Amino acid sequence: MDVVVDEENLAIAIGRGGQNVRLASELTGWRINIMTAEESEAKQAKESEAVRKLFVDKLDVDEEVAELLIAEGFNSLEEVAYVPMQEMLAIEGFDEDTVNELRTRAKDALLTMEIKREEAVEEVSQDLRDLHFQGRGLQPDLIGKLADGGVHKLDDLADLAVDELVEITGMEESDAKELIMKAREHWFND
User: For position 75, what pLDDT does the model report?
Assistant: 93
The verdict on 93 and 28 lying in the same domain is no
The verdict on 74 and 107 lying in the same domain is yes
The verdict on 166 and 181 lying in the same domain is yes
Q: Which one of 87, 121, 155 terminates a domain?
A: 121
SS3 (DSSP) at 36:
coil
The verdict on 9 and 66 lying in the same domain is no
The verdict on 53 and 100 lying in the same domain is yes
The verdict on 90 and 130 lying in the same domain is no
Q: Which one of 63, 92, 121 terminates a domain?
A: 121
User: For position 190, what pLDDT does the model report?
Assistant: 59
Output b/e per residue, 148-163; b: 16+ Cβ within 10 A. ebebbbbbbbbebebe
CATH number of the domain that residue 11 is part of: 3.30.300.20
The verdict on 135 and 164 lying in the same domain is yes
The verdict on 54 and 23 lying in the same domain is no
- How many domains would you assign to the chain? 3
Nearest partner of 144 among 113, 175, 179, judged by Cα: 113
The verdict on 169 and 112 lying in the same domain is no
Can you give the pLDDT of all 190 residues of the chain as single tens digits? 888 988 888 888 888 888 888 888 889 888 888 888 898 899 888 989 999 999 999 999 999 999 999 999 999 999 999 999 999 999 988 999 999 999 999 999 999 988 888 887 788 888 888 888 777 778 888 888 898 888 989 899 999 999 999 999 988 888 899 999 999 988 887 5
Q: Which one of 121, 144, 172 terminates a domain?
A: 121
User: For position 97, what pLDDT does the model report?
Assistant: 95
Cβ-based neighbour number of residue 50 at 10 Å: 11
Domain that holds residue 178: 123-189
User: For position 163, what pLDDT does the model report?
Assistant: 92
The verdict on 65 and 117 lying in the same domain is yes
Distance from CA of residue 45 to its chain's centroid?
A: 16
CA distance 93 to 31: 39
Cα-based distances in Å from 156 to 76, 100, 124, 146, 165:
30, 42, 10, 10, 11
